[in-house]
Amino acid sequence: MAPSTSSVAGTTAPAPSESAAPTTEATGAQTIKPGFGYLTVRDGVTLSINVMLPGTEKSGPYPTVVEYSGYDPSNPDNTTSSALYNALGYAHVGINVRGTGCSGGAFRFFEDKQLTDGYDAIETIASQPWVLHNKVGMVGISYPGITQLFVASTQPPSLTSIAPFSVSDDLYRSTLYPGGILNTGFAVMWSTERGKEAQPFGQAWTKKRADAGDTTCITNQDARSGNLDPAKEIADNPFYNPGVSDVLNPSLLVGKITVPVFLAGAWQDEQTGGRFPALLDKFTSSPHVYATMSNGLHTEALGVGFLNRYHEFLELYVAQRTPQLSIMAGFIPSVLYKTVFNVSGLGFAPLRFTGKTYEQALAAFESEPPVRILFEEGAADGLPAGAPAPRFEASFPSWPIPSTEPTPMLLTAKGGAAAYTYDPDATADTYYTGSLAEIWNADVKWDWKPAPKGAVVAFEGPTLGADQVLVGPASADLWISSSAPDTDLEVTITEVRPDGQEVYVQSGWLRASRRALDTAASTELRPVHTHLQRDAAPLVAGEPTLVRVELFPFAHVFRKGSRVRVLVGSPGGNRAQWIFQGLPAGGTVTVLTDKQHPSRIVLPVLKGIAAPAGLAPCGSLRGQPCRIYTKLG
């Protein structure tokens, strides 16, 4: 039986009232045993699934978490996630979305069937006798983090909570086409890889199962001929096309989520991009939304400051007990931090709710401010430089942080203007070209080079007389003129420190012809562009034009004696793993700064935050390379 759909903010999603009534064959009628197997969803498609319990079935039931994606969560030879959750005392269920792994059906990113498949899987798993409370939570980082947002929007009755890590609010605007410029680095690479892996036996482990006689896996490969080519779909939709792009936009659906949410991520995420906080005020139906955010990279949500609070969330909302650590939990930090970050000596923090009843622990947890900002991740006192732990933290009642003060900084140049030559080939593509695994190491070595002379213009604020804390997105409101009908802009904020070093903070991008704003969604600190083809408009040669460039959110302490630096130029060289398909080189771009054209950057200033004294060691801040300051011009 196929589900009906209802319209939600310009997209389609399974209506909860309809998707709550799948056929019995798709839910409780199935028996799911530990180990590898298959789960049938409402249209008869079978999904490959792997169940790992922390003990025997007879010793259960166990608190249970589900990981659902197009990677290989059901691969019985990949037990990394299962081992982590089993060590905490949880059953772990890995499920491949349709059209991937040994699952049947055709593959397309986040289509409606993937949502209803997820609904059916949640209800089927929750009905099993080895599942504690007959309720489950969803977990996962990146791809399985994003799938949680979609599945939870269908409101499965047996879902207790979700914990999406390192996700995106809108895959078009945040990752694939930031500022309307195609990210041929990570974004296209990742999409292309997923398409290849969704081909028949595109994942090596599926061929191994087929060779061993798994006839279901063999048969399920037959539907792959219906797969769409992700690379072609990307190339065919350079503008935001609601019929295609809405399906990749979780922000349109998260208002339907009715369970507690634990969201975690990093500002300089080299994969999904760090724009995810734009989701936070859209969870309008969730009873509790907790967010932990820091500087750093794609795996930051596994760091010390995240893991302890995440464990509490799982215990309170999935296990429904006072947080406790199993006998085996002690191995997690020693293995996890060495494997992911190449650093030792980190562990769980002491339990906070020992001696409290479950009700008391839950009440205490829910009474705390839900938004946590971890500052200067990588510079924690007493730990190796680059270790995934914060130097200090602060908590807030909501995001955007209500006490944030939008503070303009006027850009000034001699003669009221500064010009550069647009040339995307003049700068390095990215400041890191090593493997994705190496980039997460505590001792990663960045290669962040200054742009060559003439390829960028720089503006600097006054020397700060006191520490200044900035938290949130920022807007670069630039008056520009160009000798070409279009140009691509990258705006980067750095800290020029009194010790002669320069630290990367954050960037934003915009193709000037995509400057049209969604005025209802835009704020002083966050311009939101429509990216609709009908709104695109060329520049008029030599005519001053106001463009607002969205800088992704960040949290950074600019120390006393430092200066805020703003770099404007061609995209490239300031973002790890991101490479841009820029416009052809050519033309002179002028940033005007006279009285008639007051270019500025609007910064998110947050007062009343006490930061530890002293600069963090250069190169210690995770995701934020450091280099010797070079004056331009």
Residue 211, φ and ψ in degrees, nearest 5: -65, -25
- Rounded to 5°, angle at Cα 169 from 167 and 170: 115
CA atoms of 369 and 543, how far apart (whole Å): 48
Copy the structure tokens of residue 296.
């750093």
Q: Which tens digits make up the pLDDT trace of 452-491?
A: 889 999 999 999 999 999 999 999 999 999 999 999 999 9
Please count the other Cβ atoms lying within 10 Å of the Cβ belonging to residue 188: 18
pLDDT at 226 over 80: no
pLDDT at 145: 97
pLDDT digits over 488-502, tens only?
999 999 999 999 999
154 neighbors 118 (Cβ within 8 angstroms): yes
Radius of gyration of the chain (CA): 25
Q: Is the pLDDT of residue 296 over 70?
A: yes
Domains of the chain: 1-167+198-228 (3.40.50), 405-628 (2.60.120.260)
**CB-CB contact of 300 with 439 (8 Å):** no
Lowest-confidence segment of 106-115, 222-231, 275-284, 366-375 by average pLDDT: 222-231
Whether 121 contacts 66, CB under 8 Å: yes
Backbone angles phi, psi at 365, to 5 degrees: -60, -45
What is the reported pLDDT for 27? 58
For residue 78, count CB atoms less than 10 angstroms from its CB and return exposed for 0-12, middle for 13-18, buried for 19 or more. Answer: middle
pLDDT of residue 345: 83
Distance CA 561, CA 488 (A): 33
Give the least confident one: 209-213, 294-298, 452-456. Answer: 452-456
Asked whether the bond before 22 is cis by omega within 30 degrees of 0, the reply is no
The DSSP code sequence of 556-588 is EEEPTT-EEEEEEESS-SSSTT--B-PPPS--E
For CA atoms 180, 184, 186, 189, give the dihedral sign. Answer: positive
pLDDT at 258 over 60: yes
Q: How many residues does the chain have?
A: 633
Q: Which two tokens stand for residue 292?
A: 């932990």
Cα distance between residue 323 and residue 54, in whole Å:
17
- Residues 261, 587 contacting (CB under 8 angstroms): no
| Other CB atoms within 10 Å distance of the CB of residue 461 | 19
Average pLDDT of 592-613? 96
Model confidence at 21: pLDDT above 60: no
What does the alpha-carbon distance between residue 310 and residue 317 come to, in Å, rounded to a whole number? 11
pLDDT tens digits along 412-439: 999 999 999 999 998 889 999 888 889 9
Q: Look at residue 242 and tell me whether its pLDDT is greater than 60.
A: yes
- Residue pair 91/52 in contact (Cβ under 8 Å)? The answer is yes
Torsion of CA 32, 38, 41, 46, to 10 degrees: -170
Among 88-92, 192-196, 348-352, 449-453, top mean pLDDT goes to 88-92
* Residue 174 CA neighbour count, 13 Å, CB half: 26
298 pLDDT exceeds 60?
yes
Residue 22 pLDDT grade (very low, low, confident, very high; cuts 50, 70, 90): low
For the cut 90, the answer to whether the pLDDT of residue 582 exceeds it is: yes
Residue 306: band (very low, low, confident or very high) from pLDDT cuts 50, 70, 90 = very high
What confidence tens digit (pLDDT) does each residue in 375-409 have?
A: 999 999 999 999 999 999 999 999 999 999 999 99
Beta strand residue intervals within 422-558, DSSP E: 456-460, 468-482, 488-496, 501-511, 545-558
CB 263 within 8 A of CB 20: no
Mean pLDDT of 154-171: 98
- First-to-last alpha carbon distance for the chain, in angstroms, is 67
Integer CA distances (angstroms), 323 to 60, 200, 273, 314, 342, in order: 18, 43, 32, 8, 28
Backbone angles phi, psi at 14, to 5 degrees: -60, 130
Position 3 pLDDT exceeds 70:
no
User: What pTM was computed for the model?
Assistant: 0.94
Between CA 481 and CA 484 the distance in angstroms is 9
Name the token pair of 624.
Answer: 């934020």
Residue 353 · residue 360 · CB < 8 Å: yes
Indicate the DSSP class of residue 279: G
Distance CA 492, CA 458 (A): 9
Per-residue tokens: 471: 């938290």
What's the farthest any 2 CA atoms get from each other in the chain? 80
Q: Do the Cβ atoms of 306 and 347 come closer than 8 Å? A: no
Average pLDDT over residues 555-578: 96
DSSP readout, 328-362? Answer: GGGHHHHHHHHHHH---S--PPPPS-TT--HHHHH
Question: Which of 51, 57, 71, 59 is CA-nearest to residue 121?
Answer: 51
The partner residues of 407 in beta bridges, in order of sequence, read 603
Which pLDDT value is given to residue 52? 98
